[in-house]
Chains A and B, each alone.
Chain A
Amino acid sequence: MSTASVPLPNWITYGLMPFLNLVVAFLISGLVVWFIGESPLEAVKLLLQGALGNGEGIGFTLYYATNFIFTGLSVAVAYHAGLFNIGSEGQAYVGGLGAALASLALDHYVPWYVTMPFAVIGAAIFGAAWALIPAWLQAKRGSHIVITTIMFNFIGAAMMVYLLVHVLIVPGKMAPETRVFLEGGQLPKLDWLIAMFGGKIGAAPFNVSFLIALVMCAAVWVLIWRTKFGYEIRTLGASPTAAVYAGIPYVKTVIITMLISGGLAGMMALNPVLGASARLQVEFVGGAGFVGIAVSLMGRSHPIGIVLAAILFGVLYQGGDALSFDMPKITRDMIVVIQGLVVLFAGALEYLFRPAIVRLWQRFGKA
């Protein structure tokens, strides 16, 4: 008998099943660690210590998490409309250009809190612009958004390298990067926030972008669940034909949703560009756009879930760094393995345990 149509309570669908998937992903990661001859338990201990053991570790963890909140929200907004935006990576990269231009233009003249809104808007506009053509192709020409956003990731990467190598580079310097922004073009660190909990931020680049990310979480929640447009987005995602039949304009909804998604991805650039390195560098996104896919999947496209998943991946990133320091056999690439397993089990194989759970539920749960 088919188990696919048997309804299950929410705590199983949204709690137990993702948890089981995550456990399997981590168990297999542990097997990989064991296979290359290290102790998985020791590795977990070192990882958690490195990520959460002191103020600096927590600062780094939250710094990485900030990136993933932005890209996770970006993927989630598109996902609610049934669109798979795999181009957050490229949108964030191009968004960095908008943020950097704002800083380069203003940092001589005004303090950071004046530059910030311009940088936020610049990053969002540039990120959104990079999502516009794929969105238009999807809405008007029916080209699959996955394919076009992949293509635009590569086009964006080529364009940004060109701009950094030939246009934005400081004359006479070798490194393809812009000049370092003055203080008026940087986002200050959140050392007081860490200090409130008795820690020291140290060298961690944890900065104001984190607060912007949290504001965006709230904004996305309001947009998706408390506005008419959010309702239209969700309707489109649930059934495009029903949405069109109900009078929801397909082209407009797809394009605006993708612009919002691209804008959120673009804002991710604030964190590394204005917050951490104070300049625009080649490949500063470093795969955060793809991590956003994992984060959005794990967080079930809900802002609260996304924050939790982003922090989990922040722990993995920062802890993985510390781990590779203490266990040279386990390189940073181990994080990518764990990421892959999480995406595989929490995403592609999300219903792996459903039939078994349904059978157990039917036997024991209903009584």
Chain B
Amino acid sequence: MENLDIISILGSTIRLSIPLIFTALAGLFTERAGVFDIGLEGKMLFSAFAAAVAAFMTGSPWIGLLAGIAVSVLISLIHGFASITNRGNQIVSGVAINFLASGLTAVLGQAWFSQGGRTPPLSPSARFTEIVFPYANQLRDTGFIGRFYANVISGHNILTYIAFLAVPASWWILYRTRFGLRLRAVGENPGAVDTAGISVTWLRYRATICAGILCGCSGTYLAIAQSAGFVKDMSAGKGFIALAALIFAKWRPVPVMLACLLFGFLDAFANFMQGKNVPGIGEVPVQIFQALPYVLTCVLLAGFIGVARPPKAGGVPYVKER
């Protein structure tokens, strides 16, 4: 394998990991607060649609981002209303959100634009485009480090860098603020938090709002940074890969980023390997790489690589004692 290939695989690893990182961090907030979030996929899809529509209407990617976040937070609040206030089944609520997202975005997209569920292609000014770092173009031809700088560090859109900032930010919020401490506590032992006079309901709502904001970023990234518009069902299971990454990382922020990069790398590597022959084996089926994130997560869950212990109160609605 050439150096050039490695650089291009690493570059696309970054691009493919970003939606996973945002989404997995979103899941980190809700699940750490004791609310299961199967609806990550749906929130991503809803926000991708909203971002694409808003960016198309206004021509501004930032308004697209705001719209993506707003819609995603709204969906999070529905999830919260069902699973926190109404104490409904959190899994069922997530499944419902995924159905709604897949259906409603396609129906509205077709009704508004009549392009088979797509939104019209966006002009470059309505998208988040690549930012070229200083000297990147000059360094492009100066050996491995220069190429690495030009293609892996530089040349991504603003949301990519926000995603990598969101990782330490999430760590700081979860582990160094009072809100974070309480959020983690409410996922382990909501009764104790309630006894301390803190509202379990409000804490869990705030966690779902955080998740909404992060999912909004990931959907926006899909629709108006990675592509130039919304395509029907464009999240294509990324929400579930992010969920797998979250578990693979055992519900901790920095490992979440690493797991997402690993799964992104698998995806990029699969694309690279397509149609290539490996000496002695022949063509490696792309399906192996597609299944690998899930297989790895199951192996982890089986307890063969450490133990993944979920937040204790996850999935259980809190009933205040009378």
Known contacts: A148-B301, A155-B291. The answer to whether A336 contacts B103 by CB under 8 A is: yes
Q: Residue A118 at the B interface, CB < 8 A?
A: no
Residue of B nearest to A335 (CB): B103
Distance in Å from the Cβ of A313 to the closest Cβ of chain B?
12
In the complex, whether B58 has a CB less than 8 A from a CB of chain A is no
A158 and B91 within 8 A (CB): no
Chain A residues contacting B290 (CB-CB under 8 Å) are 154, 158
Q: Are B91 and A337 in contact (CB under 8 A)?
A: no
1/0 contact string of B296-322 vs chain A (CB within 8 Å): 011001110000101000010001001
B294:A152 contact, CB within 8 angstroms: yes
State whether B103 touches A333 (Cβ < 8 A).
yes
Q: Does A340 contact B (CB under 8 A)?
A: yes
Instruction: Check A148/B100 contact, CB under 8 A, given A344-B93, A347-B89, A351-B88.
Output: no
Which of A165, A294, A344, A348 counts the most B-chain CB atoms under 10 A from its CB?
Answer: A348
Contact B294 A84 (CB under 8 A): no
Give the dominant DSSP class at A's interface.
Answer: helix
Count A-B pairs with CB separation below 8 Å: 151
In the complex, A341 Cα to B100 Cα: how many Å? Answer: 7
Contact with A along B230-268 (1 / 0, CB 8 A): 001000010010011001000000000000000000000
Q: Is B185 an interface residue (CB 8 A)?
A: no
- Asked whether any CB of chain A lies closer than 8 Å to the CB of B132, the reply is no
Does residue A99 face the partner (Cβ distance < 8 Å to B)?
A: no
Q: A146 near B: Cβ within 8 Å?
A: yes
| Chain A min CB distance to B94 (Å) | 8
List residues of chain B with CB within 8 A of the CB of A36. Answer: 107-108, 111
Please measure, in the bound complex, the distance between the C-alpha atom of A166 and the C-alpha atom of B286, giving whole angstroms: 11
Instruction: For residue B17, give the distance in angstroms from its CB to the closest CB of chain A.
Output: 18
Residue from A32, A86, A331 whose CB has the most chain B CB atoms within 10 Å: A331
**Which of A49-57, A136-144, A251-259 forms part of the interface with chain B?**
A136-144
Q: Which of A188-230 contact B (CB under 8 A)?
A: none
> Is there contact, CB below 8 Å, between A347 and B291?
no
A293 with B111: in contact, given A152-B298, A334-B103, A336-B99 (CB under 8 Å)? no
Question: Inside 8 A of A74's CB, which chain B residues have their CB?
Answer: none
Residue of A nearest to B310 (CB): A144
A151 with B104: in contact, given A344-B96, A349-B86 (CB under 8 Å)?
no
Q: Is B151 in contact with chain A by the CB < 8 A criterion?
A: no
Q: Are A348 and B89 in contact (CB under 8 A)?
A: yes
Q: Is B83 part of the binding interface, using a Cβ–Cβ cutoff of 8 Å?
A: yes
Bound form: Cα–Cα A359–B287 in Å:
56
Q: Which residues of A contact B303 (CB under 8 A)?
A: 141
Residues 261-303 of chain B, each 1 if its beta carbon lies under 8 Å from chain A, else 0:
0000000000000000000000001011011001101100111
CB of A65 within 8 A of chain B? no
Contact of B104 among A158, A337, A348 (CB under 8 A): A337
Measured CB to CB, the closest approach of chain A to B21, in angstroms, equals 19
* Interface contact A151-B108, CB-CB below 8 Å: no
A154 to B36, CA, bound (A): 19
Question: Closest chain A residue to B303 by CB distance?
Answer: A141
Contact (Cβ within 8 A) A158 B92: no
Min CB gap B23→A, angstroms = 14
Residues of B within 8 A of A143 (CB): 298, 301-302, 308
Smallest beta-carbon distance B57→chain A, Å: 17
How many angstroms from the CA of A137 to the CA of B298 in the assembled complex?
A: 9
Q: Are A154 and B237 in contact (CB under 8 A)?
A: yes
Contacts of A161 in B (CB 8 A): 287
Residues of A with Cβ closer than 8 Å to B? 2, 4, 32, 36-37, 84, 86, 133, 137, 141, 143-144, 146-148, 150-152, 154-155, 158-159, 161-162, 165-166, 290, 293-294, 297, 329-331, 333-341, 343-344, 347-352
Q: Residues of B at under 8 Å CB distance from A?
A: 36, 38, 78, 81-83, 86-93, 95-104, 106-108, 110-111, 117, 232, 237, 240, 243-244, 247, 285, 287-288, 290-291, 294-295, 297-298, 301-303, 308, 310, 315, 319, 322
New contact pairs (7) apart from A84-B89, A137-B298, A143-B308, CB-CB < 8 Å: A36-B107, A143-B298, A146-B38, A154-B237, A337-B104, A337-B107, A351-B87
Pairs across A and B, CB under 8 Å, 11 listed: A4-B319, A36-B111, A141-B301, A154-B237, A154-B290, A340-B101, A340-B104, A344-B82, A348-B89, A348-B92, A349-B93
